[in-house]
A and B are shown apart, each in its own frame.
Chain A
């Protein structure tokens, strides 16, 4: 497949996402500043101020209004995006359900950050996990390249006529958003061709066909609407894969529902989201060199969660550790662990599972932590015994 090689640049994750948004060139953006996502909108508004994009900005007075503005603009009939983090996403929570319930294809960059209290501006996944069940599609990204590529693909996925759902593209706050990495950009026309002309569906601004958005629906039909939303979610994995195939043709970069790293013949494995997957892969390599069959699974499409595909990829391992960068309080396991356990539930023979909570509020995740966990998995696989299912790591006791 012939493709032009892209521009190589050394940029931060935020800069890469801002560049993707410039290339996509949405009709409207409505946004409010918050660390660490602010930098995306600062860069983007400078494109607006300098005429590099056609986008009209709405610089609102809160994240609640940011998402409200996105909803109004998207219902009006055009391409819409925003970006936020942490408390901003929490303040939007009510509106997230309204965006997805109205089937509005808004794209939002979520630069993952811890939630208050205590106040902390650094990276963890509490924000995204808190919004996992709001009817949005979530794509998670390991590095700046993936954040850039996922952002571009997100518009195609969101606006697909068979689904019309909002998409959140996640990357780790500071670790990725503010670190400089090598990235390969695509050409502007390749991106605009890939996302294509925005196709309207029931636009509010169509005066010839006046529509009412946001009706009251009582017990007689509410449940049918919720089921329709659930049905549509089941079409998402196929559309995500088709979009990834088309994207590979123009970028040479391959994406799936998740990344399986040295997993085919693995006996022990880690499941981990976003940037910490990179650190873990190096450690997996060193275990492989020692002759230990270790592998890794990094979910990309986290909502809807591809239970069948992930369960199938993990079912033959002996022991798996799910690493969560967020906790689900209430005596339960981390949110990623809960989904992984569910994905393995249908199988009679399945790996033993452990759950480690790591890296909250930006606490470093080091190769030594991955080593510790992998060594424990070797022991679990050997003895068939799990000492403690859930445990915080790299924490003062």
Chain B
């Protein structure tokens, strides 16, 4: 029987990513992975792109994974998991496996938005029964905070440092969730660890749907965001409440905003606690703050518009 999605019931379940892994204190990624694994009542097999999560959870001869897990390389978690899932189908058809297994890939934003986009797009188009989860911390954190196409506008990284001529990343973030929804796959969603119930519900729903699914989950990184170690949940909440990281899903082409803040907070509330945006608060960069707020407003309005045809949205 399916585990009810309550803290009481979920807390009785085994954690399938053990403690003792070597992720940084305060990192969002292992919180997200634990939530994702708790949401499933199916046996799971996971693939992991090269990145923070991968290097920190399986350093030979130790592994933090209590489920079968495969790391291949940086750009190909989706293609690798395609192979695993296809072998599963082949062996199941031949009567060599009888269990229903679900397949999840985990990749950071570098391994998903950038180098792994082709592999992800191909796997989704081919229709493999898998859920791809991007934990988006907005830069190549594992190699030392280099900019990726997920890096937000204006952010200071080690390859787009805030200087006297260029003030952080000049381009806005690529909207990957929209790109994945445009693949017309059965389920695409955006989630945040601050809204844990929304997150686990989405994972559960995704795993119950047959076919390719994609979830983009915001993953605070105190090293790269230059924020306090204990701020991951608070910052991800501010990202949602400022509508910088809207929570929504696209199920069979129908967009639904799953959380609408009662009062949309100004973007600066999310930016201010993060050192990577510090330079934007200098008087000469005022226009950048204005631009950034406009980008967020525009994206939020566009999301609400596309959700108009869908059912009434939930509020918290």
A interface with B by C-beta (< 8 Å)? 27-28, 30, 54-56, 58-62, 64-65, 68-78, 80, 94-95, 98, 204-207, 210-218, 221
Q: Which of B30-38, B63-71, B178-186 contacts A (4 or more CB under 8 A)?
A: B63-71
B42-65 to A contact mask, C-beta < 8 Å, 1/0: 010101000000110011110101
CA distance A221 to B62 in the complex (A): 13
In the complex, B301 has a CB within 8 A of chain A: no
Contact between A64 and B88, CB atoms less than 8 A apart: no
Known contacts A72-B79, A98-B72, A28 near B121 by CB under 8 Å: no
Contact between A60 and B68, CB atoms less than 8 A apart: no
Chain A residues closer than 8 Å to B72, beta-carbon distance: 68, 71-72, 95, 98, 213-214
CA distance A55 to B81 in the complex (A): 17
CA distance A28 to B128 in the complex (A): 14
Residues 125-184 of B contacting A (Cβ, < 8 Å): 125-126
B64 to chain A, nearest CB (A): 9
Chain A residues closer than 8 Å to B47, beta-carbon distance: 72
CA distance A73 to B85 in the complex (A): 7
A74 to chain B, nearest CB (A): 7
Contact between B87 and A65, CB atoms less than 8 A apart: no
B interface with A by C-beta (< 8 Å)? 43, 45, 47, 54-55, 58-61, 63, 65-73, 75-76, 79-91, 93-94, 97, 99, 101, 118-119, 121-122, 125-126
Contact of A212 among B69, B76, B85, B126 (CB under 8 A): B69
Closest B residue to A61 using CB positions: B122
Contact of B70 among A64, A65, A75 (CB under 8 A): A75
Closest A residue to B83 using CB positions: A72
Contact between A64 and B60, CB atoms less than 8 A apart: no
CA distance A73 to B88 in the complex (A): 8
Contact between A62 and B58, CB atoms less than 8 A apart: no
Contact between B68 and A204, CB atoms less than 8 A apart: yes
Chain B residues closer than 8 Å to A75, beta-carbon distance: 70, 83-84
| CB < 8 Å A-B pair total | 160
Chain B residues closer than 8 Å to A62, beta-carbon distance: 118-119, 122
Contact between B58 and A68, CB atoms less than 8 A apart: no
CA distance A78 to B93 in the complex (A): 13
Extra A-B contacts (13), CB below 8 Å, given A62-B118, A78-B90: A27-B94, A28-B83, A30-B83, A56-B89, A58-B83, A61-B121, A61-B125, A73-B87, A76-B88, A205-B68, A206-B68, A212-B70, A213-B71
CA distance A27 to B86 in the complex (A): 9
Known contacts A65-B118, A215-B60, A72 near B69 by CB under 8 Å: no
Contact between A65 and B122, CB atoms less than 8 A apart: yes
Residue picked from B75, B76, B94, most chain A C-beta under 10 Å:
B76
CA distance A67 to B118 in the complex (A): 14
Chain A residues closer than 8 Å to B118, beta-carbon distance: 61-62, 65
Sample 30 A-B pairs with CB under 8 A, ordered by A number.
Answer: A27-B87, A27-B90, A28-B87, A30-B83, A56-B89, A58-B126, A61-B122, A62-B119, A64-B75, A72-B70, A73-B83, A73-B84, A75-B70, A76-B84, A77-B91, A78-B90, A80-B83, A95-B73, A205-B45, A205-B87, A206-B68, A207-B68, A212-B68, A214-B58, A215-B58, A215-B61, A216-B54, A216-B58, A216-B60, A217-B59
Contact between A68 and B80, CB atoms less than 8 A apart: yes
- Could you tell me the dominant secondary structure of chain A's interface residues? mixed
Closest A residue to B45 using CB positions: A204
Known contacts A70-B83, A212-B58, A95 near B76 by CB under 8 Å: yes
Residue picked from B43, B88, B94, most chain A C-beta under 10 Å:
B88
A48 to chain B, nearest CB (A): 11
Chain B residues closer than 8 Å to A65, beta-carbon distance: 76, 79, 82, 118-119, 122
Chain B residues closer than 8 Å to A60, beta-carbon distance: 79, 82, 122, 126
Contact between B59 and A218, CB atoms less than 8 A apart: yes
Contact between A210 and B69, CB atoms less than 8 A apart: yes
Chain A residues closer than 8 Å to B60, beta-carbon distance: 215-217, 221
Closest A residue to B87 using CB positions: A76
Known contacts A95-B72, A216-B55, A64 near B79 by CB under 8 Å: yes
Instruction: Give 7 closest A-B pairs by Cβ, nearest first.
Output: A72-B83, A214-B71, A61-B122, A76-B87, A73-B83, A68-B79, A65-B79
CA distance A27 to B75 in the complex (A): 25
Contact of B84 among A59, A98, A204, A216 (CB under 8 A): A204
CA distance A206 to B70 in the complex (A): 13
Closest A residue to B47 using CB positions: A72
Chain A residues closer than 8 Å to B94, beta-carbon distance: 27, 54
CA distance A72 to B128 in the complex (A): 13
Chain B residues closer than 8 Å to A76, beta-carbon distance: 83-84, 87-88, 91
CA distance A213 to B223 in the complex (A): 28
Contact of A204 among B70, B75, B122, B125 (CB under 8 A): B70
CA distance A30 to B76 in the complex (A): 14
Known contacts A56-B86, A72-B72, A212-B58, A207 near B80 by CB under 8 Å: no
Contact of A69 among B58, B68, B70, B83 (CB under 8 A): B83
Chain A residues closer than 8 Å to B122, beta-carbon distance: 60-62, 65
A266 to chain B, nearest CB (A): 47
CA distance A23 to B41 in the complex (A): 40
Contact between B83 and A71, CB atoms less than 8 A apart: yes
Contact between B71 and A69, CB atoms less than 8 A apart: no
A214 to chain B, nearest CB (A): 3
B119 to chain A, nearest CB (A): 5
CA distance A54 to B93 in the complex (A): 9
Closest B residue to A78 using CB positions: B87
Closest B residue to A32 using CB positions: B122
Contact between B54 and A64, CB atoms less than 8 A apart: no
Chain B residues closer than 8 Å to A214, beta-carbon distance: 54, 58, 70-72
Contact between A205 and B84, CB atoms less than 8 A apart: yes
CA distance A141 to B70 in the complex (A): 34
CA distance A68 to B69 in the complex (A): 15
A123 to chain B, nearest CB (A): 29
CA distance A351 to B88 in the complex (A): 55
CA distance A61 to B84 in the complex (A): 17
CA distance A211 to B83 in the complex (A): 16
Contact between B59 and A30, CB atoms less than 8 A apart: no
